[in-house]
Structure 1
C-alpha cells in the first residue's frame, strides 16, 4: 500500500506512477470508475433490468418470480444498496452489505405492497407501486468451504489437473486429488520464496 502525501494532489501521484489507496467515493484511478460511478451504474441496472420484471409481475398478478443478476462483489454491494432505496418500508442503516468473499452471493426479495397472487394491478411504465425490499442472504459462501485453494490460476493452455475445480463449479461431485497444486501452478511456492522480503 502506498501512503498518500497530503501535500501532493492525487493527479500528481498518478503522474509519478504512484497509486495510493482511495478513500473518497468521488476519487478514481486513471481510466477507472469511482464508487459514485459504480453506484450510478448499479442504480441504472436496477432501473433497467430488475424493476421491469417487478412491474410485469404486478401487472400479471404473479409473485415468486426469480431474477438473477451476476456481477463482482463491489457492484453487488451497490446493487443491494440501490435496491434497498426503492423500499417503502424502513431498511437497516449503515454499510451492512459490503465485503463479499470470492464467489459469494446475496439474495433480496422485492414485494409489491398490498399485492396478492392472481390479482393483477395497474402499473404504468414510468411508475412503481410501493415496494418492500428485504435482504435475506448476504455473503453466502458455504459452497466453497470444502474447495482446496490452489495458488494462482492455471496458465497452461490445457491443464488436466484444473478439471476438478471446473467440475466443482459446474455442480459435479469432485474427489480430491493428492497433488496440492495443478501442473501450471507447480512453481508458485518456488517463485514466492525467490522474492526478496521487504525490509522494515
Structure 2
C-alpha cells in the first residue's frame, strides 16, 4: 500500500499573535513543541519510509519530532522549498483585516483582477491587509494562490510521484520499491500549502470529486491518502504524465493525538 500523510506544523509564535506568517520564519511556540511531541509519539508505531518538509522552522521542527519518534534507523528528513507556505509579501507579520467592504466591492466588479489589485495596493500602503478573494492577486512582493498551486504541483512530483513511480512502475526487480511492501511518505507543511498539495494529488484521480475543497488543517492535524494505479494500467509510469490514479482520502484534519494535551502557554513577563 502506498500512503501519503500531510501534516500541518505545530502552533507557531506568529500563530499566537494572529499575524500572517508565510515565508516569515517564526519558530514553534511552547504549545507547538508540545503538539509536535504528541504527534511524534502517536506516529511512533506507524512506519514511515521518508519525510519531506518545508524548510520553515515551524514545519521542519514538527517533522523532526515525527522523525525522532520512529524506530532506528530513522527515515530520511528532506527539506523542499516547494512545500513552503504562501508568500504574503508586505503583509507578512501583519494581522488580517476580515471586514473590508472595498475588497468585496472590487471582487464583484466587472474586472475583478484589476480592481482587486488596485484596492490591495492602496490598502497595503495604509498598513491594511485584507483577505484577498481571488486566486490571481497578491500583496506586493508576495505570491498568488495560483502561484502556490503551481508550487504544490512541483512538490507533488518531487515528493510523491517520484516514489510512486518506483512503487507502481518499476518494482524491486528493477531496483525500485517492491509493490508488495508498504511505502509511506510524510509531508510536513502549512495550512494553505497542504490544501493545494491535496488538491494537486486528487486531480490525478479522474473519478474523484474535483470540486471538493480541502480546507485548512488545525495545528499538527494530519490528512492521509492511499494511492494506487487504476485498474488497467500497463507500461511505464511517467512522473510528468502519470497514469490515472485512485486517490482515497482516508483521514482529514485528524487531531486525536491532541486529546488531553495541556494547551496553556507559560506566562511571559
Instruction: Please confirm whether the aligned pair reaches a TM-score higher than 0.5, indicating the same fold.
Output: yes
Instruction: Please identify which structure carries the higher helix content.
Output: 2
Gaps of 5+ in 2: 1-96, 107-117, 172-177
Q: Which residue of 1 aligns with 2:137?
A: 27
1:29-108 alignment runs, 5 A limit: 29-58=139-168, 59-60=170-171, 62-63=179-180, 64-88=182-206, 90-108=207-225
1:122 aligns with 2:204: no
Question: Partners of 2:205 and 2:163 in 1: how far apart?
Answer: 16
- Say which SS state the counterpart of residue 80 (structure 1) adopts: helix
Q: State which of 245, 251, 266 in structure 2 corresponds to 1:137.
A: 251
Question: How far off its partner does 1:132 sit?
Answer: 0.8
- Say which SS state the counterpart of residue 99 (structure 1) adopts: coil
Q: 1:26 to 1:127 in 2, by over 3 A?
A: closer
Q: TM-score, normalised by structure 2?
A: 0.50
Instruction: Please identify which structure carries the higher strand content.
Output: 2
Question: How far off its partner does 1:99 sit?
Answer: 2.2
Q: Which residue of 1 aligns with 2:229?
A: 112
Question: Partners of 1:124 and 1:37 in 2: how far apart?
Answer: 24
Question: How far off its partner does 1:93 sit?
Answer: 4.4
Q: 1:65 to 1:145 in 2, by over 3 A?
A: same
Residues 86-121 of structure 1, C-alpha deviations (whole Å, 9 max, x = no match) = 113x112434411211110010111012389xxx95
Q: Which residue of 2 aligns with 1:146?
A: 260
Question: How far off its partner does 1:147 sit?
Answer: 1.2
Residues 146-188 of structure 1, C-alpha deviations (whole Å, 9 max, x = no match) = 112123xxxxxxxxxxxxxxxxxxxxxxxxxxxxxx3xx245x
Question: Partners of 2:241 and 2:149 in 1: how far apart?
Answer: 22
Gaps of 5+ in 1: 152-181, 188-200
- Say which SS state the counterpart of residue 138 (structure 1) adopts: strand
Between the two proteins, the alignment pairs up a number of residues equal to 151
Question: Partners of 1:139 and 1:86 in 2: how far apart?
Answer: 21
Q: Which residue of 2 aligns with 1:3?
A: 100
Question: How far off its partner does 1:4 sit?
Answer: 4.5
